[in-house]
Chains A and B, each alone.
Chain A
């Protein structure tokens, strides 16, 4: 029983919300892309590129904020390539995503070995510190879990509300959903399908970029090769399980965060059990969740649009 109690302490759940962050942000990134009709399995690659750029720029400039900026820009650039391939060149969107993921792995690996190892490496500038939001963080239990977190985690929580508003309550959101559901109809009422898709995929890229920034600016303070370890794909599963809504995706991401936090705690509590058994937990959970989800995707997702 002690173990069960340990798994639900405020400390464990605080860790759960933190580790849910890259998954939620990745899912938000996928949401913009897929709501506009572009399948995005490249979140992993965008996240990885951003994690490296953030680490690189913050180390060489000494500024965490410039690191964030670099992450957002590099995420957007990878997304722009994905958009170009799948919208302009009609490439299958899954293959295009695979290209981005391979390219990200190769480029980050090459740049890491060229610039991010000693003797060139100037050393990291550390990570963002935890912020306690006044008043809210004093709420017992809940306060520690949600309101004593790093700035990227707090941004992620705020983004869930903002994105919900943007997607479901603004003309922009309506147009985005229209080009994802029925591009021909959207086109006839004067919406620029291509422009909407490009913009939304790139917005998605910046969000995946923020997820990458969390890895190297808030979670740990240096980049390692392939450090995203599938978080981008888990984000996609969270998006699907959350039926392409921000709160649904956040809920699914929190579930993964919980599995991850428990995995970390269980490894410490049961050193005699092989650590790999616990490490598999989030991946197994993803498969189960993907099997249970009965998703109704945006109708035109994956379909290139060709103007008549």
Chain B
């Protein structure tokens, strides 16, 4: 390579090359899902037609119409936040399958504060958000501490905590904060002072867009700065890359584990409470929409980079909202979206498959995928 070529190829290396696998992963997933739809349809022709109307329905319904676009942005906000809640522990070498539970407990604690504590307008919003973050931090602290000091694996613990969070939230809604009036089981409404402002959107009568989306983008930028530009972020990443080397450098991995899970929990909790404050303004039973699980695919599609989480979340937000159009326009089940999620996760986490399918050649030293910790049980 001669020197004059260096800057040009560095742009390609830095910005285009990392896009190859994610883009091909999405493309391949679309093809595989189309095959599944065709196989399970009454006959292949009807199947093909369903694929066409369904896929066009996603684009047309969830992206091109103003209302659809607003709904997509609304669904993207919690995915950005929960995506970061998965990405940060990944950098510390831990796998957070618990964003779902942290999201729930954040929503629960925030809702209680939003209903019962009477405060002046702006202060009430802030206190409610802080309560949501606190709920998430507590729920993140449990697996963090268990991992750091007892060596019990965060994967099992976070999954169990998800189930506990769902049961706990439903129990508290049903027995303590239930709205006596409506027939559906849900909490009392948040006081008006605790609700997030809705933002008007051109062409949409009563826009559901709320401040949550913008807060999520700000958090993504802050998380990126934290990870790559601060000493704390450096310590966290060093721990993830090599805990033994981190110890030599004076970093205590145990604290990094706890810290990463606290930050993750807090961000997931923020997502949870803003979902209540911005949209239904009540906490219904069965609130969990699976954002915490989709977040894993979001984070890996973004190669665990908080800034790249924004477009990755947008893609999944589009699919989440698009799922409804798959059902309405093509009569397909919304579960198709879960299959998408699994396949995208599959192809980004195993780039070797994508390279194998598309015969992409790479030099061995470049053939690394997502920086994921190799996991083992016990400590």
> Would you call B160 and A283 a contact (CB within 8 A)?
yes
Tell yes or no: B168 within 8 A of A by CB: yes
> Would you call B342 and A95 a contact (CB within 8 A)?
no
CB-defined contacts of B345 to chain A, threshold 8 Å: 95, 98-99, 102
CB-defined contacts of B157 to chain A, threshold 8 Å: 287, 290
Complexed CA–CA distance, A302 and B95 (Å): 14
CB-defined contacts of A105 to chain B, threshold 8 Å: 335, 338, 342
Q: How far is the CB of B102 from chain A (nearest CB, A)?
A: 15
> Would you call A41 and B155 a contact (CB within 8 A)?
yes
Complexed CA–CA distance, A145 and B235 (Å): 54
Q: How far is the CB of B105 from chain A (nearest CB, A)?
A: 13
Contact residues, B75-103 vs A (CB, 8 A): 95, 97
> Would you call B40 and A106 a contact (CB within 8 A)?
no
CB-defined contacts of A277 to chain B, threshold 8 Å: 167, 171
> Would you call A110 and B333 a contact (CB within 8 A)?
yes
> Would you call A236 and B156 a contact (CB within 8 A)?
yes
Complexed CA–CA distance, A83 and B339 (Å): 19
The segment from A19-27, A126-134, A190-198, A292-300 that touches chain B is: A292-300
CB-defined contacts of B374 to chain A, threshold 8 Å: 92, 302-303
> Would you call A113 and B164 a contact (CB within 8 A)?
no
> Would you call A98 and B97 a contact (CB within 8 A)?
yes
CB-defined contacts of A100 to chain B, threshold 8 Å: 342
Q: How far is the CB of A194 from chain B (nearest CB, A)?
A: 15
Complexed CA–CA distance, A113 and B333 (Å): 6
Complexed CA–CA distance, A90 and B367 (Å): 12
Tell yes or no: B130 within 8 A of A by CB: no
CB-defined contacts of A291 to chain B, threshold 8 Å: 146, 150, 152
With A114-B40, A287-B161, A290-B153 as given contacts, are A94 and B95 in contact (CB-CB < 8 Å)? yes
| Nearest CB in chain A to that of B153: its residue | A290
> Would you call B349 and A96 a contact (CB within 8 A)?
yes
| Nearest CB in chain A to that of B335: its residue | A109
> Would you call B350 and A85 a contact (CB within 8 A)?
yes
Interface size class of B (residues with CB under 8 A): 35 or more
Tell yes or no: A77 within 8 A of B by CB: no
Contact residues, B329-360 vs A (CB, 8 A): 332-343, 345-346, 349-350, 352-353, 356
CB-defined contacts of B95 to chain A, threshold 8 Å: 94
| Nearest CB in chain A to that of B176: its residue | A274
Complexed CA–CA distance, A79 and B122 (Å): 53
Complexed CA–CA distance, A107 and B40 (Å): 11
> Would you call A301 and B377 a contact (CB within 8 A)?
yes
Tell me which of A90, A284, A301 contacts B352 (CB under 8 A): A90
Tell yes or no: A111 within 8 A of B by CB: yes
> Would you call A93 and B336 a contact (CB within 8 A)?
no
Tell yes or no: A103 within 8 A of B by CB: yes
Q: How far is the CB of A145 from chain B (nearest CB, A)?
A: 27
Complexed CA–CA distance, A98 and B297 (Å): 10
With A95-B300, A233-B160, A293-B152 as given contacts, are A287 and B349 in contact (CB-CB < 8 Å)? no
Complexed CA–CA distance, A103 and B349 (Å): 14
> Would you call B40 and A287 a contact (CB within 8 A)?
no
Which 4 pairs show the lowest CB-CB distances between chains A and B? A106-B338, A109-B335, A102-B342, A106-B339
Q: What are 27 A-B contacts with C-beta separation under 8 Å?
A: A39-B376, A89-B350, A92-B374, A92-B375, A94-B155, A95-B300, A102-B293, A102-B338, A102-B341, A105-B335, A105-B338, A106-B336, A109-B333, A109-B338, A110-B332, A110-B336, A233-B160, A276-B171, A277-B171, A280-B168, A287-B156, A287-B160, A290-B156, A290-B160, A295-B378, A301-B376, A303-B376
Chain A residues with CB under 8 Å of chain B are 34, 39, 41, 85, 89-96, 98-100, 102-103, 105-114, 229-230, 233-234, 236-237, 240, 274, 276-277, 279-280, 283-284, 286-287, 290-291, 293-297, 301-303
| Further pairs besides A39-B376, A302-B376: 18, Cβ < 8 Å | A89-B350, A89-B353, A92-B372, A96-B346, A96-B350, A105-B335, A105-B342, A106-B338, A107-B339, A109-B333, A233-B156, A274-B174, A280-B168, A283-B164, A287-B152, A301-B376, A302-B375, A303-B374
